[in-house]
Chain A
Amino acid sequence: MADYAALVQPDRVHSAVFTSEDIYKDELEKIFYRYWVYVAHESEIPRPGDYCTKWIGEKQLIVSRAADGSIGIFFNRCRHRGAAVCMDEYGNANFFRCPYHGWTYNSAGDLVGVPYPSRYGEGFDKSTLGLARVPRVDTSAGFIFASMAPDGPPLAEHLGKAAGFLADFVKASPLGTVSLSAGTSKSAFWGNWKFVGMDGYHTNFTHKTVLDLRQRKAGASYNRGAGNSDKSANESWDLGNGHCRLDLTGRDKVAIGAASNTSIAAGIPDNADGHEYMRLMSEAYGDGAHEVIRRSRDVHIHVWPNLQLIGSQVRVIRPLAAGHTEVMSYPAMLDGVPDSINTERIRSFEWFSGVASFGTPDDTEVFERNQIGLRADYIPWLVLARGLTVAPQEDGSTVGNVTDEVPQRAQMKAWLRSMTSPEVS
């Protein structure tokens, strides 16, 4: 195996980390098939019998809600001769029946039916032949995570400081819950999965046209690109365990204090539905409603290794090969709000995100160019040295200027730990 410690230096990383198929396969084993990874959201399987199929790496899973309401995650593979027992992305069923020989499992994964069992003889024990179960499943703010390691730190410990941002994200709903009911924007690109990170340095260049469009709308008053420069009060954060975030509220910090309600309300429509939304939020959160909305809107976090929450969007990253990645994006709908509030979230999602939008296609174009460039590895190093001298704070977080490579270094640190640690730690 590669000498990982030699590939990841404090201020640089070797191209092989992104281009080697051997390293990709080892990442699946050491990261995706071992640590906590995001799998699905509770709202995708609200009722008993609901299920959805998801992937961790190359393994397909059934995420199922059993009759007692508990969530089980099973490998989508008949215990008899291995055929996938479920082919639908979403559904509701009492049973999963294998098409090959009719073996049947209930929504708790138990093997409940085997045709013509007499030929198996005495000792045949159905109770040992349920669908293989992912050993550890836990949730945080409705987000379902799984770990294929039977033992290891609990989810709360893995999430650490990231958990607070998951909680903030769902609080834009007066009920404190969101639903991934608005469908899935599905995309794939020819580049490494680790390129989908938190980067505050690329905005003014990769998203030049987004700034053009904002300027076109706002006119001369638009302070173009100021929030994404080395002069900005915006920040990049290492939260520990590979989790990282951007704090893009810097420009508003002066405005946001006591008299900040107008700047928050600016994004909420000044119509009957907007007023109703604010009334519901005040009812739920009292005087803090504006702050709750601001915090939710400003969530811009990467939960290592495969989940991002950005404003109103849930984004899930799945590696397919060293140079091939799938990204599933979901606009998160707020429960308990007027319909038009959620419609606006969908329209705003489509503006920046998705394969034909004005934002993310330029990101994926860059990721594909990365993959081309990294193969020209005469000098193989990528430089991650911006803000290298920023020291960690007392609580373990590291906070840099928004353009600093604090998030990239945070992720490579977690990557190196996972790839070299003999146990889940």
Chain B
Amino acid sequence: MKDLELVGDVTDFLLLEAELADASAYDEWLALWDDPCTYWVPCNLDDYDPTKHVSIIYDDRARLEERCFRLTAGGAHSQEPRSKVCRVVGNIRVVNPHGEDDTVEATARTILVELRLGRKSVYAARVHYTLRRTPEGFKLRHKKVLLLDADEPLGNMTFLI
């Protein structure tokens, strides 16, 4: 029997995360994340060991805070003007309702259109989320974004993926 209430709660959270990322609402977006946490966008291949292989993004909590600080401090030319981003999160599935540390694991697909300086780019990704249950609701423990283009030459990816 599916726990439809859990699927609904997870869906609400993932869509909120997507909305805040689209809106470049860096503070509110950062507030969704757990401490510690990992924001991982692998490079070249999906399952490379990040201790032995370069990633497009491999942020721990401290680096994630640096990322958001950088994008709000002024002078991040690659986001001035900011990217306009519109993403759809679909195919949401709870793949493990009872993960370690009172977490829920979910997967989804994202199609993301970015518009900046008159140029439109389309990205697609499989995304793996680990959400920790807290009294205040879910916190994002891990987000792993498997870009379709992870092994292709990419342009400016400084928007929130």
Contacts and interface: CB of A to CB of B under 8 A. Distances in A.
Contact of A339 (B48, B51, B157): B51
B44 interface: yes
A362 B44 CA distance: 22
B56 to A, nearest CB: 5
Contacts of A76: none
Contacts of A187: 153-155
* In the complex, the 7 A-B pairs of residues with the closest C-beta atoms, listed nearest first: A208-B75, A361-B78, A188-B153, A356-B157, A355-B157, A186-B153, A365-B78
Contacts of B96: none
Interface in B90-139: 117
Given A185-B56, A343-B52, A350-B54, A355 B77 contact: no
B156 A364 contact: yes
A318 to B, nearest CB: 9
Contact of B57 (A213, A350, A362): A350
A358 B156 contact: no
Contacts of B158: 355-356, 361
A266 to B, nearest CB: 19
A1 B76 CA distance: 40
Given A186-B153, A356-B41, A358-B67, A209 B54 contact: no
Contacts, number: 103
Contacts of A350: 54-55, 57-58
B9 interface: no
B3 interface: no
A83 interface: no
B52 A339 contact: yes
Given A183-B54, A361-B158, 4 more contacts: A185-B54, A212-B75, A349-B54, A354-B43
Interface in B44-71: 44-45, 48, 50-58, 63, 66-67, 69-70
Contacts of B75: 208-209, 212
A309 B53 CA distance: 19
A188 B155 contact: yes
A342 B55 contact: no
15 contacts: A183-B48, A183-B53, A184-B43, A188-B154, A212-B70, A213-B69, A216-B66, A354-B43, A354-B56, A355-B154, A355-B157, A356-B161, A361-B78, A362-B76, A365-B78
Contacts of B4: none
Interface residues of A, number: 40
Interface of B: 41, 43-45, 48, 50-58, 63, 66-67, 69-70, 73-78, 117, 151-158, 161
Contacts of A346: 50-55
Nearest to B66: A213
Given A184-B44, A188-B153, A354 B51 contact: no
Contacts of B44: 183-184
Nearest to A362: B77
Pick the most buried of A182, A213, A330: most chain B CB atoms within 10 A of its CB.
Answer: A182
A331 interface: yes
A351 B63 CA distance: 8
B69 A182 contact: no
B54 A182 contact: yes
Nearest to A343: B51
A361 B76 CA distance: 9
Nearest to A342: B52
B43 A361 contact: no
A347 interface: yes
Interface string A176-220: 000001111111111000000000000000101100110010000
A184 B42 CA distance: 11
Interface string A338-380: 0110110011011100111010011011101000000000000
Nearest to B151: A186
A208 B73 CA distance: 9
A315 B22 CA distance: 32
B154 A186 contact: yes
Contacts of A213: 66, 69-70
A153 to B, nearest CB: 32
Contacts of A349: 54
Contacts of B67: 358
Nearest to A340: B51
A326 interface: yes
Nearest to B52: A182
A349 B52 CA distance: 12
Nearest to A330: B54
Contacts of B74: 208
Nearest to A320: B153
A347 B117 CA distance: 30
Contacts of B53: 182-183, 346
B78 to A, nearest CB: 4
Interface string A293-335: 0000000000000000000000000000000001110110000
B52 A354 contact: no
Nearest to B48: A183
A356 B48 contact: no
